């Protein structure tokens, strides 16, 4: 299958090039040329399929022309080898728990999948020196670092904002060693993202190094995120719910929501989406006014969504042919300030016993406020609350148990390289170490 750039000023490429390059040369994001629509019969039999079986069918639709089916099946089953996501109900709202992977956040699915696809292509080409640059506000770095840990031929550089990620998140990418290097940037997440973008556009660096990204700009990272929307539907349908489903997606860079929109385009019966933002509500403002006005991000309790210029916004525009009125028919916005996050985590816990994380809290509250009586709401619970231990304990005034998987990370020693937000410093460092 061919992939085109959202800017339409670059040649179409195959999957291998889209994955290895990350960003198109015209600075656009790659999009699949065809989005296959599943027949109704697929959705009827979906209740009898496992998560891995469903994901494999979806993966075939995107990657089946470029990767032989036995290899693809292996990649899907291996990337999703952790337990099947579960969908508990809180009152009348469903929580699609996406935190059962190795770093307890939804990004594990995309990161593990991408690591295996990229590993496959570089092995095929005999390449041994691919550098993955990834900017993180916390969760991406841990998922990508762990997803790529020990993959031959790939070195990962995680750029993260100094002092702006939680202690546990930081352990998850600064203690691994091997092919993972943590770069501690004196700046905000947006600075880290800008540095990564600048590196991709820098001629010297690209001449001397093979660079790619593992942020959701990479098609091998964001497309697999479509898998769990299908799984959510299967889970609801098993309980007899198949109409008027509303999915609420706590959003930062909008990779997750974009994957959901693609799943809908593939025929998945989702009626509409709600994009839940924290105080960084550029997307909500766009929906309300039709004007996209990126701003520097502000720090919030839901820090994985502290994004002032969401990279996947261009993909959403592209999917809807740049028509604001079409976008607002399918997506409603929501903004959840820190006070509401606190209030929601506290009241939900006290009244139902369910412990939300700060990101999921934005999604849950959006559904409480925006769901119509005939609709069934499911929000993506994007991370385990223990990843935000300090914040959650401060809100509920009770200790939060740390799952075994997270405890392990805390035993390591932090190793990081401190850099300023000046691009030249990063460039010099990368040239020196490669
Ligand atoms: C990354 C992340 C988000 C935002 O996802 P996007 O795809 O960037 O919109 C939300 N919640 C958590 C916990 C995350 O790690």
pLDDT at position 55 = 97
Percentage of the chain modeled with pLDDT above 90: 86
Q: Is 82 exposed, middle or buried (0-12, 13-18, 19+ CB in 10 A)?
A: middle
User: Atom 2 of ligand 1 has which residue's CA nearest to it?
Assistant: 304
pLDDT at residue 361, as a whole number: 98
Q: What is the mean pLDDT of residues 13-30?
A: 93
Confidence of residue 198 (pLDDT cuts 50, 70, 90): very high
Residue 193: the pLDDT is: 86
Instruction: Tell how far the Cα of 304 is from the centroid of ligand 1, in angstroms.
Output: 5
Q: Is the pLDDT of residue 88 over 90?
A: yes
Q: Does the CB atom of residue 107 touch ligand 1 within 6 A?
A: yes
Ligand 1 atom closest to the Cα of residue 139 is: 15
Task: Find the 250 Cα to ligand 1 centroid distance in Å.
Answer: 7
pLDDT 10s digits, 307-360:
999 999 999 999 999 999 999 999 999 999 999 999 999 999 999 999 999 999
Model confidence band, residue 372 (pLDDT cutoffs 50, 70, 90): very high
Q: What is the pLDDT of residues 377-425, one digit of tens each?
A: 999 999 999 989 999 999 999 999 999 988 888 889 999 999 999 999 9
Q: How far is the CA of 306 from the centre of ligand 1 (A)?
A: 9
Report the nearest atom of ligand 1 relative to the CA of 357.
13
Give the chain as a 3 state SS string: CCEEECCCCCCCECHHHHHHHCECCCCCEEEECCCCCCCHHHHHHHHHCCHHHHHHHHHHHHHCCCCCHHHHHHHHHHHCCCCCCCCCEECCEEEEECCCCCCCECHHHHHHHHHHHHHHHHHHHCCCCEEEEEECCCHHHHHHHHHHCCCCCEEEEEEEECCCCCHHHHHHHHCCCCCEEEEEEECCHHHHHHHHHHHHHCHHHHHHCEEEECCCCCHHHHHHHHHHHHHHHHHHHHCCCCCCEEEEEECCCCHHHHHHHHHHHCCCCCCEEEEEECCCCHHHHHHHHCCCCCCCCCCCCCHHHCCCCCCCHHHHHHHCCCCHHHHHHHEEEEECCHHHHHHHHHHHHHHHCCCCCHHHHHHHHHHHHHCCCCCEEEEEECECHHHHHHHHHHHHCCCCCCCHHHHHHHCCCCCCEEEECCHHHHHHHHHHHC
Distance 408 CA to ligand 1 centre (A): 23
Pocket test for ligand 1, best of 137, 219, 256, 306 (most atoms within 8 A of CB): 256
- Once rounded to an integer, what is the mean pLDDT over residues 94-106? 93
**Phi, psi at residue 36, to the nearest 5°?**
-70, 135
Distance of alpha carbon 285 from alpha carbon 433, whole angstroms: 42
Q: Which of 153, 125, 127, 95 is nearest to 385 (CA)?
A: 95
Q: In the block, which residue shows the tokens 């299967």?
A: 234
Which atom belonging to ligand 1 lies closest to the Cα atom of 250? 10
What is the fold of 71-105+222-405? Answer: Rossmann fold (3.40.50)
Give the relative orientation of helices 107-125 and 139-148 as an angle to the nearest 10 degrees. Answer: 40
On the question of pLDDT at 83 being above 80, the answer is: no
* Residue to probe by mutation, ligand 1, list 304, 314, 316, 387, most atoms within 8 Å of CB: 304
Dump pLDDT digits (tens) for 203-260.
999 999 999 888 888 999 999 999 999 999 999 999 999 999 999 999 999 999 999 9
- Cβ–ligand 1 distance for 105 under 6 Å, the answer yes
Q: Which atom of ligand 1 is nearest to the CA of 360?
A: 11
Strands 30-32 and 3-5: antiparallel
Q: Which residue has the tokens 């006005």?
A: 293
Residue 190 has pLDDT above 90, yes or no: no
Segment 61-81, tens digit of pLDDT = 999 999 999 999 999 999 999
pLDDT at 128: 86
110 touches ligand 1 (CB under 6 Å): no
Nearest atom in ligand 1 to 254's CA: 9
Do 185 and 324 touch, CB atoms closer than 8 A?
no
What is the C-alpha separation between 303 and 358, in angstroms, rounded?
Answer: 8
Mean of the per-residue pLDDT values of the chain: 95
Indicate if ligand 1 lies below 6 Å from the C-beta of 304: yes
Mutate to test the pocket of ligand 1, among 98, 251, 258, 310 (most ligand atoms within 8 A of CB): 251
- Cβ contacts of 357 within 8 Å, gap of 6 or more: 99, 345, 381, 382, 383, 384, 385, 387, 388, 392
Cα gap 366→309, rounded to integer Å: 21
**Alpha carbons 89 and 213: distance in angstroms, whole number:** 36
Protein residue with least CA distance to atom 14, ligand 1: 304
The pLDDT of residue 86 is 83
Mean pLDDT for 146-169 is 93
Which atom of ligand 1 is closest in space to residue 258's alpha carbon? 7
How far apart are alpha carbons 350 and 217 in whole angstroms?
A: 38
Instruction: Please work out whether the CB of residue 139 comes within 6 Å of at least one atom of ligand 1.
Output: yes
Cβ–ligand 1 contact at 383 (below 6 Å): yes
Residue 384 tokens read as: 């385990």
Q: Is the CB of 252 under 6 A from ligand 1?
A: yes
Q: Which two tokens stand for residue 278?
A: 């924290």
Q: Is the CB of 359 under 6 A from ligand 1?
A: yes
What local confidence, expressed as pLDDT, does residue 421 receive? Answer: 97
* 216 C-beta closer than 6 A to ligand 1: yes
> Which among 104, 105, 108, 118 has a CA at the least distance from the CA of 80?
108
The rounded distance, in Å, linking the Cα atoms of 406 and 410 is 7
- Tokens 């999957």 identify what position? 15
CB 377 near ligand 1, within 6 Å? no
pLDDT for res 166: 83
Q: What is the pLDDT confidence band of residue 270, given thresholds at 50, 70 and 90?
A: very high
Instruction: Give the span between the Cα atoms of 244 and 235, in whole angstroms.
Output: 15
Domain ranges for the chain: 71-105+222-405
Residue 45 confidence class, pLDDT cut points 50, 70, 90: very high
């Amino acid at each position: 299958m061919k992939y085109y750039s959202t800017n339409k000023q670059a040649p179409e490429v195959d999957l291998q090039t889209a994955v290895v390059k990350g960003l198109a040369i015209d600075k656009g994001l790659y999009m699949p040329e065809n989005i296959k629509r599943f027949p109704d019969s697929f959705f009827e039999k979906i209740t009898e399929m496992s998560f891995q079986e469903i994901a494999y069918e979806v993966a075939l639709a995107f990657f089946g022309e470029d990767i032989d089916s036995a290899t693809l099946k292996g990649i899907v089953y291996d990337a999703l080898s952790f337990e099947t996501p579960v969908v508990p109900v809180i009152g009348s709202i469903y929580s699609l728990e996406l935190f059962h992977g190795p770093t307890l956040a939804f990004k594990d699915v995309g990161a593990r999948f991408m690591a295996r696809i990229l590993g496959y292509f570089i092995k095929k080409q005999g390449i041994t020196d691919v550098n993955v640059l990834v900017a993180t506000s916390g969760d991406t770095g841990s998922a990508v670092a762990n997803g790529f840990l020990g993959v031959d031929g790939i070195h990962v550089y995680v750029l993260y904002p100094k002092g702006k990620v939680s202690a546990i998140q930081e352990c998850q990418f600064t203690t691994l060693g091997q092919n993972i290097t943590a770069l501690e940037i004196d700046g905000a997440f947006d600075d880290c993202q800008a540095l990564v973008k600048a590196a991709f556009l820098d001629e010297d660096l690209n001449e001397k190094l093979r660079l790619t990204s593992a942020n959701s700009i990479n098609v091998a990272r964001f497309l697999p995120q479509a898998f769990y929307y299908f799984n959510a539907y299967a889970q609801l349908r098993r309980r007899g719910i198949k109409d008027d489903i509303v999915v609420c997606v706590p959003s930062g860079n909008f990779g997750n929501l974009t994957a959901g929109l693609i799943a809908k385009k593939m025929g998945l019966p989702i009626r509409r989406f709600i994009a839940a933002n924290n105080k960084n509500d550029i997307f909500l403002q766009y929906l309300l006014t039709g004007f996209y006005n990126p701003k520097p991000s502000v720090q919030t309790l839901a820090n994985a969504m502290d994004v002032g210029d969401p990279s996947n916004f261009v993909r959403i525009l592209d999917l809807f042919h740049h028509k604001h009125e079409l976008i607002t028919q399918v997506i409603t916005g929501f903004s959840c300030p820190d006070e509401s996050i606190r209030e929601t985590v506290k009241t939900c816990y006290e009244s139902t016993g369910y412990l939300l994380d700060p990101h999921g809290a934005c999604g849950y509250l959006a559904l409480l406020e925006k769901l119509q009586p005939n609709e069934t709401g499911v929000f993506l619970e994007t991370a385990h609350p223990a990843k935000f231990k300090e914040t959650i304990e401060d809100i509920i005034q009770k200790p939060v148990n740390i799952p075994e998987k997270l405890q392990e990370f805390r035993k390591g020693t932090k190793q990081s390289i401190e850099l300023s937000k000046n691009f030249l410093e990063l460039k010099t460092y990368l040239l020196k170490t490669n």
